[in-house]
């Protein structure tokens, strides 16, 4: 059976899991989102800013996993 979803990404002779680029992209997107939230004052509604960062990063990671990884 051919599975249309990748299990590994190949760069030269190195196989990496698709979660590594997804995690890096989610990290950078969450950094940008939290910076914007701090500039606009939206982050004052959260007690701990670390949880806002982790929640946004988890949200981005799930969205990237559901929509972007399965396209490639």
Looking at residue 6, what is its pLDDT?
56
Q: pLDDT per residue over 9-66, tens digit each?
A: 677 777 777 788 889 999 999 999 999 988 998 888 888 878 888 999 999 999 988 8
- CA distance linking residue 26 with residue 54, whole number of Å: 10
Looking at residue 42, what is its pLDDT?
86
**Higher pLDDT residue, 8 or 53?**
53
Looking at residue 2, what is its pLDDT?
59
> Which two three-digit tokens encode residue 44?
């004052």
Residue 68 CB neighbours (<10 A): 13
Looking at residue 66, what is its pLDDT?
82
């Amino acid at each position: 059976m051919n599975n249309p979803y990748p299990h590994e990404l190949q760069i030269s002779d190195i196989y990496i899991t698709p979660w590594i680029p997804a995690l890096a992209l989610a990290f950078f997107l969450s950094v940008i989102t939290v910076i914007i939230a701090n500039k606009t004052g939206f982050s004052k509604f959260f007690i701990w800013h670390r949880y806002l960062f982790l929640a946004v990063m988890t949200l981005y990671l799930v969205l990237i996993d559901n929509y972007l990884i399965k396209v490639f």
